[in-house]
Amino acid sequence: MRRRLQRAPLQRARSVWFLRASFAAWATTPLLAGGCAKPCFDDGLDQGGCPAAETAADTTAAEASGTASSGPNTATATDATDPTAGTGGADAYTCPELDEVLLPQTPTFQLVVDRSGSMDEDFGGTSRWESMVDTLVGGQGVVTELQSEIRFGLTLYSNDGMSCPSVDSLAPQLDAADEITTALGATGPAGDTPTGESLEIATALVLDDEWEGEKVLVLATDGEPDTCAVPEPMGDAQIAEARGVAVDAVTAAYDAGIRTFVISVGPELAEEHLQALANAGAGATDADPAPFWVADDTAALVAAFDAIVAGIRPCDFDLSMPLLAEVAPSCAVTVNDSPVGYQDADGWELQDEDTLRLVGTACEAIQYGVAVVAMTCTCEAQ
């Protein structure tokens, strides 16, 4: 009832207007060659044969949409595409700012290590398994050196024929070198490679951990994945299915807030699968792929772990509003009060209009301790 009462005056007004318009059209219709023009009467439904009249609202709408032929309100293509153009000029576009303070946190690394039978193969004069043990808990191993700064956990996995997946895990903790050394010494390579199901178990373990701070999985494996249901995939379809289980597990971990880094211990894994795992672990795409590592000997394995540890803090920063590429050069970015260059190999770039990315030494500079990243812009297109 309320809507009808509100609309009634408008309907009456339209009827009066159409009557007036009809009379005006009749009064101003020119004489035809054979005599007088037949008068028309329009009831507002275009039933009287009279030409449609353009209303003031129609004219206003046409002008607002840019269809008017001239006048101060005529829109242009530039107005629609350039936020710095038009009556407001550069003031019509507001540049984002960034002032991010990163506080020290103790990160968590859950090491997910393949102990399938192929880990017993030669690896530059030693076995892959022995190289892994030395890389992790040797005299200069990553766990040995960083155990007071990083919480390490361990998940060893295989299919040993008795249970699948066969998983031995240590929950993450500080000063874990002794426990991890004992766990590695108590087992050895055997069985198959149910990577996907084992990653699911490792993810659940990390999610149950109540420690605050960055949490990541580091997957180190030397062979194509299989599954408990199909321990020896044969043919493209079964291989693709086993790979899909592993990628799905990494995707689920990422969706739960846990990134995954991927190391191939030896060259057997297909690069396309390694890339799919790496992308899933970082939420990346083929257009901007995530890194993965292929190690052919102990030195390369050590370098892979070093690179992963060095990049534990993400170097992407969300902006409060979009930063257009044409005004990005007007922005000054500092890392710990030191300026870094735009599109510099050791500076910053736009991952997209909503994301600033530090690269090279600028990224490395924020990995430890308190770090400050700031950006101010003049918003001048260049």
pLDDT digits (tens, 9 = 90+) for 22-32: 333 333 333 33
Q: Is the pTM of this model over 0.75?
A: no
Does residue 165 have a cis peptide bond before it, meaning omega lies within 30 degrees of 0? yes
Quick one: CATH architecture of 108-310?
Answer: 3-Layer(aba) Sandwich (3.40)
Cα-Cα-Cα-Cα torsion 132, 137, 143, 148, nearest 10 degrees, comes to 180
Q: Residue 236, SS3?
A: helix
Statement: residue 196 has pLDDT above 80: yes
Statement: residue 191 has pLDDT above 70: yes
Q: What is the mean pLDDT of residues 367-373?
A: 89
Statement: residue 165 has pLDDT above 50: yes
Which helix (H) or strand (E) segment holds residue 373: the answer is strand 371-377
What pLDDT does residue 93 have?
Answer: 74
Q: What digits encode the pLDDT tens for the residues 244-300?
A: 999 999 999 999 999 999 999 999 999 999 999 999 999 999 998 999 999 999 999
Q: How confident is the model at residue 380 (pLDDT cuts 50, 70, 90)?
A: confident
What pLDDT does residue 367 have?
Answer: 85
Percentage of the chain surpassing pLDDT 70? 76
Between 105 and 2, name the one with better pLDDT: 105
Rounded Cα distance between 89 and 78, Å, is: 12
What's the gap between Cα 197 and its chain centre? Answer: 25
Phi, psi of 90 (to 5 degrees): -65, -25
Between 38 and 312, name the one with better pLDDT: 312
What pLDDT does residue 92 have?
Answer: 61
How many angstroms separate the most distant Cα atoms in the chain? 114
Which residues belong to CATH 3.40.50.410 in the chain?
Answer: 108-310
DSSP secondary structure string for all residues of 163-232: SSSEEEEEEEESS-HHHHHHHHHT----SB--HHHHHHHHHHHHHH----S-EEEEEEE-S----SS-SS
Q: What is the mean pLDDT of residues 143-170?
A: 95
> Do the Cβ atoms of 375 and 331 come closer than 8 Å?
yes
Statement: residue 119 has pLDDT above 80: yes
Q: What is the mean pLDDT of residues 159-185?
A: 96
Q: What is the mean pLDDT of residues 320-334?
A: 93
* Beta-sheet pairing, 293-295 with 259-265: parallel
Rounded Cα distance between 242 and 222, Å, is: 15
What's the gap between Cα 143 and its chain centre? Answer: 30
Rounded Cα distance between 332 and 169, Å, is: 47
Statement: residue 232 has pLDDT above 70: yes
Statement: residue 333 has pLDDT above 90: yes
What pLDDT does residue 64 have?
Answer: 44
Burial class (CB in 10 A: 0-12, 13-18, 19+), 228: middle
The CA radius of gyration of the chain, in Å to the nearest whole number, is: 34
Rounded Cα distance between 5 and 24, Å, is: 30
Statement: residue 40 has pLDDT above 70: no
Percentage of the chain surpassing pLDDT 90? 66
261, 312, 268: which is closest to 290 by C-alpha? 261
* Beta-sheet pairing, 151-158 with 108-114: parallel
Statement: residue 116 has pLDDT above 50: yes
Between 49 and 220, name the one with better pLDDT: 220
What pLDDT does residue 51 have?
Answer: 52
* Sign of the alpha-carbon torsion through 217, 219, 224, 227: negative
Q: What digits encode the pLDDT tens for the residues 65-114?
A: 444 333 333 333 333 334 444 333 445 678 899 999 998 889 999 999 99
User: What is the pLDDT of the chain when averaged over all its residues?
Assistant: 81
Q: What is the mean pLDDT of residues 132-150?
A: 95
